[in-house]
Structure 1
Amino acid sequence: MLCAQGVATALTLSSILLQLVRANLPSGCLIASDILSCTNLGLEHVPVELPVTVATLDLNHNQLENLEEGNFAGLPKLATILLAHNQLRRLTAGTFRNISKIHHLDLSSNQLTIIEQHYFQDLVAIEELLLYNNRIVRVESKALSGLSNLRKAYLSHNRLTDFPFFSIHGHSNLNTLDLSSNRMPSLPVEEIEALQESVQLSLFLHNNTLICECSMYSLFKLWEQRGFPSIRDFQEEHTCLVYGEHKASVRFLLHVRFFENCTIKRLADTASKTAEAGKSVMLNCTTTLTGRNVTYWWVSPQKEYIIPPGNNNTLRMYVNGSLEILAAQTEDSGLYLCMAQNSQDSHNQTFEVNLTVSIHHPEVEPFNTGFTTLLGCVVSLVLVLMYLYLTPCRCWCRKQSLAATPSLGNECSAQSSILTPTPPATTEGPGRKVSNNKHVVFLEPIKEAQNGRPRAALEQSTMAVTRSSDETVTSVFSGTTVVP
């Protein structure tokens, strides 16, 4: 009973506190968990008192013109601020002080003209910065240099004529920088080439007023050969002005005849590597950069960034930049890009490794020579036996008469051996006198058919051997051997 009363009291107090908090908020604001939404209320100032539990503050579509110091103080959990579609022209120094946990800041669709260096210096944890669709004409050189955790920065649809690329050389986490749809007439190609490959990979520069020149064309052509998303997805939007004339705008990646005399940069050195599925494979990063200040990154075929120490489950990176795939699979095949950068002099190099992972199929081993020989002998022996015992008979298989003196046509010669190349020259009389020019004769018993069953013509048989002489050996099938 007391427990139930305590719970009811706690709920009542929470309700009272919530009402007190809401009483200090403009009418129309909505609170849901740790989200506070005060959108499209015509607000000209940030509400003075905000709930300390708020993590996402949505002030989009209002009439805010300035942000003052301390507007967001006392909000320890605040991580996202949405200020799009307001009338902000500048940010007062200290606006974001003491809210270092901000990860996402949306200032798009406002009236900002200059990004001053103090605007975001307190946002050390910022990861996503949205500044598109403003009136920005300049980004000061140190405005983004301290944002080491910045991953995505959107500055498209502004009025930029240049950008301090050198200020983001150390931004290893930056994987999207959108500078499209601005007014840049030229690009600092050397500064862009010095950027880490991960930044170049997703640097969007289409729809600018670039003047057609070889260095610019060579840079974009190299990105096109590498298959960078910024070129692949916006190929037709890459235009330049021939001789600087606005009326002579060409899609230079599609119409290349204006750059026939330009020298195109070649791709980075590429090595080929093969591996067997399920086994470990090592990819070496071959560069000329050495020393303590050199850092390495890899980009996988799936456009994933690999930094030390790698993924302990499948990938492992070493201090010399080598990348080990612990158990390679067929889907790991593709082009791996290694990036090495010397942070001291801002110089970098790239190296490509084309990996092919295949499934090993064991080869069928040929027959052993001895086994082959034995098999040949067995087959030969079987053929000989088939020839010996399965040859169709010509004599005893036929039904013969029981005449006392068999005729020559019905008689099976006692010398009709299959080892004798030709039949005997003569057979004379009932005793079948054998020609005396034969040395060995294999005698087979004569069989006759009686009552439908074969039987031995003679109960006993002997093998008669003749000798080469002038005498004639007469062999009779009896119990004894006749010797001349």
Structure 2
Amino acid sequence: MLCALGVAAPLMLSSLVLHLARAALHPGCLKVSDILSCSNLGLEQVPKQLPATAATLDFNHNHLVRLEEGSFAGLPHLVTLRLAHNQLSDLSPGTFRNTSSLRHLDLSSNQLYKVDNFYFQELAGMEELLLFNNHIVRVESNALISLVNLRKAYLSHNRLTDFPFFSIQEHSHPFLVTLDLSSNRMPKLPLEDIAALPVSVQSGLFLHNNSLICECAMYVMFKRWEQKGFNSVKDYREEHTCLVYGEPRASVQFLEHTRFFENCSIKLPGLLVDIESTLQVYAGESALLECQTSLKGRHLTYQWVSPHQEFIAPPGNNNTMRMYANGSLEILAARVEDSGVYWCMVLDRQQSRNETREVNVTVIMRHHEVEPFNTGFTTLLGCVVSLVLVLMYLYLTPCRCWCRKQAPPATPSPANECSAQSSILTPTPPATTEGPGRKMCQSSLTVSNPPLIPDIWTTVSSKQ
């Protein structure tokens, strides 16, 4: 009896905890496997008890005003947290404590007015951060410094007048490929800080729809990005505007209408200088891209970024590209769609240094040589041409006899002779009732219309 009670007690306790957890959740919450959705329920605070197995929490479209310290602690499997369309204006210190597994955080469409240094310091594994459509006026200099695995950050549609680009230099964010700062209020850009960003960050830096003042240095930077085919410029070409002399009503699409910058030099010393090499390869052939670097040592790590924003690390993607230990990247069978700018990033973690190099690859199609004519076809063609020329000679050569004035009939020749000038070759021998031994000679030919037969005269004789 005691043994039975000892076994049943833990089960009863577990059931009680589960019952209490379910009771703490809003009845409208929906739990499916490791997903808990409590969206659009009018919640004013996050439930105290959350299922420990949750990997995705969805609290979008509620009335959350504040997040308490440790609101999501005790969730070791939490990967995605959605808090969009709430009324959050600030985050308490320790809000994301013990949530190091978090990879995707959505705080968009709230009322945040700043991004403080302590907001995300516990989220070293964060990969995607959504902060767009808030009221953010300032991002502190160290607000993103702890997000070493950050790949994408969205801060568009806010009220930013500047951004600490210097905080994401060199090796601090080696995986960052998208930084969206569009639709803010930045009048000027720190061009030198932007030029120091890795090329992989520059290519994904969205700055359109800001309040930029028109100036040559700014124009040169965007024009160069356009020439390189960066999607941040190519996909939003018409949205890149600037204010002439800073006048709000004098906005110009500077990539569409370039006459305001005709006197700007495309080459500005010290600005946006990088090392770039070019490589041409025929389709179907292999190509080896060298990652040239001045860094030395055994602690170097290499990584490539393809034109399609695909990260490539040793041993490669096992399908179309192979990467070697020395940093070289081999395109196994080049395709036309493999063309574009490849970035090689070299990182020396021991000395906290890194370098970025570009290789512009162009894949071209090989033109196939025209095969020579087949001998039989050549012979047939020669026969056809010869036949056409003969027919042209027979039927298109002008006659020389009908257009001349006819001479009076001459004395007939002996019966066994025919004059070459009075005989004509006819296609079929004329019918005759003459007996054997008689010779036919046509002495004259009367033509009423221009002849359709050639001017070929010959002697026709018939022998028994």
Length-normalised TM-score, structure 1: 0.66
> How far off is 1:349 after superposition?
4.9
1:21 maps to: 21
Q: 2:286·2:334 contact (CA, 8 Å) conserved in 1?
A: no
**Partner-residue secondary structure (3-state), 1:231:** helix
Partner of residue 148, structure 2 = 148
Contact 2:281–2:334 (8 Å) recurs in 1 = no
**Residues 98 and 296 of structure 1: CA distance in aligned 2, closer, same or farther (over 3 Å):** same
Distance 1:347 1:253, change over 3 A: farther
Report 1:70-469 matches (<5 A): 70-169=70-169, 170=171, 171-265=173-267, 269-275=276-282, 277=284, 279-286=285-292, 289-292=294-297, 296-318=302-324, 320-325=326-331, 327-331=332-336, 333-340=338-345, 348-356=355-363, 358=365
Measured against aligned partners, the alpha-carbon deviations of 1:160-185 in whole angstroms (never above 9, x if no partner) come to: 01111121223121111110000101
Distance 2:54 2:27 in 1: 17
The amino acid across from 1:172 in the alignment is: P
Once the two structures are TM-superposed, the CA of residue 85 in structure 1 deviates from its matched residue by 1.2
CA distance in 2: counterparts of 1:145 and 1:298, whole angstroms: 23
Relative to structure 1, the CA distance from residue 187 to residue 294 in structure 2 (aligned partners, 3 Å threshold; closer, same or farther) is farther
- Quickly say closer, same or farther: Cα 1:188–1:345, change in 2 above 3 A: farther
Rg bigger for which structure?
A: 1
Paired residues of 1:178 and 1:205 also in contact (CA < 8 A): yes
Distance 1:245 1:46 in 2: 46
Deviations 1:296-350 (A, max 9, x none): 543434343334443345423345542222x314346423423456766867554
Secondary structure at the aligned position of 2:260 is classed as: helix
Matched residue SS, 1:91: coil
Match of 1:448 in 2: none
CA distance in 2: counterparts of 1:181 and 1:353, whole angstroms: 31
Q: Which structure is richer in relative contact order (CA contacts within 8 A, separation 6 or more)?
A: 2
- Contact preservation (8 Å) 1:136, 1:159: yes
Q: CA deviation at 1:83?
A: 0.8
Change (3 A) 1:336 1:234: closer
8 Å contact kept, 2:183–2:207: yes
Rounded to whole Å, the distance in 1 between the matches of 2:325 and 2:142 is 31
Quick check: 1:195–1:348 contact (8 Å CA) kept in 2? no
Cα deviation, residue 73, structure 1: 1.3
The residue type paired with residue 98 of structure 2 is N
Between the aligned partners of 1:349 and 1:102, the Cα distance in structure 2 is 29
For residues 141 and 164 of structure 1, the distance between their equivalents in structure 2, rounded to whole angstroms, comes to 5
Q: Distance in 2 between matches of 1:155 and 1:224?
A: 22
Query: Hey, what's the Cα distance between the residues in 2 that align with 1:54 and 1:345?
Result: 37
The amino acid of 2:48's aligned partner reads V
The alignment's TM-score, normalised by the length of structure 2, stands at 0.69
**For 1:25 and 1:69, how far apart are their aligned partners in 2?**
19
Equivalent residue pairs, number: 356
Q: What is the rounded CA distance, in whole Å, between the counterparts of 1:149 and 1:257 in structure 2?
A: 42
Contact 2:59 2:82 in 1 (8 A): yes
Whole-angstrom distance in 1 between the partners of 2:275 and 2:251: 30
Residue 96 of structure 1 and its aligned partner are, at CA, apart by 0.6
Aligned equivalents of 2:301, 2:55: Cα separation in 1? 35
Gaps of 5+ in 1: 1-10, 366-484
RMSD: 3.2
Query: Which amino acid is 1:75 matched to?
Result: L
Work out the CA distance in 2 between the residues paired with 1:34 and 1:269.
47
Match of 1:34 in 2: 34
CA contact (8 A) 2:336 2:363 kept: no
CA contact (8 A) 1:239 1:250 kept: yes
CA distance in 2, matches of 1:245, 1:262: 20
Q: Deviations over 1:214-252 (max 9, x none)?
A: 111111001111111111111111000111111111111
| 263-272 or 245-254, which deviates more | 263-272
After superposition, what is the alpha-carbon deviation per residue over 1:381-415, rounded to whole angstroms, capped at 9, x for unaligned?
xxxxxxxxxxxxxxxxxxxxxxxxxxxxxxxxxxx
Conserved? CA contact 2:283–2:336, under 8 Å:
no
Q: 1:98 to 1:15 in 2, by over 3 A?
A: closer
Aligned residue for 1:198, secondary structure, equals helix
Counterpart secondary structure, 2:227:
helix
Q: CA deviation at 1:359?
A: 6.2
Compare 14-23 and 37-46 and name the one that shifted more. 14-23
State the Cα deviation string for residues 412-447 of structure 1 (Å, max 9, x = none): xxxxxxxxxxxxxxxxxxxxxxxxxxxxxxxxxxxx
- Partners of 2:74 and 2:288 in 1: CA distance: 51
SS across alignment from 1:41: coil
Show CA shifts across 1:129-148 (max 9, x none): 11011111111111111111
Tell me if structure 2 keeps the 8 A contact 1:196–1:341: no
Q: For structure 1, which segment, 71-80 or 99-108, has the greater mean C-alpha deviation from structure 2 after superposition?
A: 71-80
Deviation at 1:126, TM superposition (A): 1.0
- How far apart, CA to CA, are the structure 2 residues paired with 1:32 and 1:347? 44
